[in-house]
Amino acid sequence: MPDARQKSVFFADQSLKDTFEELKDGKHEEKELYLQINKAISELEKNPSAGTKIPKANRPKIYLNKYGANNLWKYDLRDGWRIIYYLKGNSVEILAIILEWMDHEAYERRFGYTER
């Protein structure tokens, strides 16, 4: 049975949303990243769990401390980029809240897979 709850995607704060919008007018690589993130947002609006759930043991505490995110998901983009987001919901709606996006190297550092 399909989930009939309203699904929406938001940025964790206005600064992050502004940074996303700035990509649109940037260099070629930034414009490409903007298009990829925009496509991911469309997918997450349809299916908030389209990404991969990050196991609790692998979640950096910064996300819980800064945003209260007690679940984390990653959505893989091309060229090793990832969106980090969490889900918040109730019986009426599901919100996918984008916390940040990062390239592969930054992801590896943030999640402790490589040395800083």
**Domains identified in the chain and CATH numbers:** 6-110 (3.30.2310.20)
Answer whether 87's CB lies under 8 Å from 49's CB: yes
Q: pLDDT category, 90, cuts 50, 70, 90?
A: confident
Q: Looking at 11-15, 30-34, 82-86, 109-113, which range is the least confident one?
A: 109-113
Q: Please name the residues in contact with 108: beta carbons below 8 A apart, sequence gap of 6 or more.
A: 114
> 113 falls in which pLDDT band (50, 70, 90)?
confident
Structure tokens belonging to residue 66: 């800064």
Q: Is the pLDDT of residue 73 over 60?
A: yes
Average pLDDT estimate for 51-65: 95
Q: What is the pLDDT of residue 115?
A: 63
Q: Calculate the alpha carbon distances from 110 to 90, 91, 105 in Å.
A: 29, 33, 9
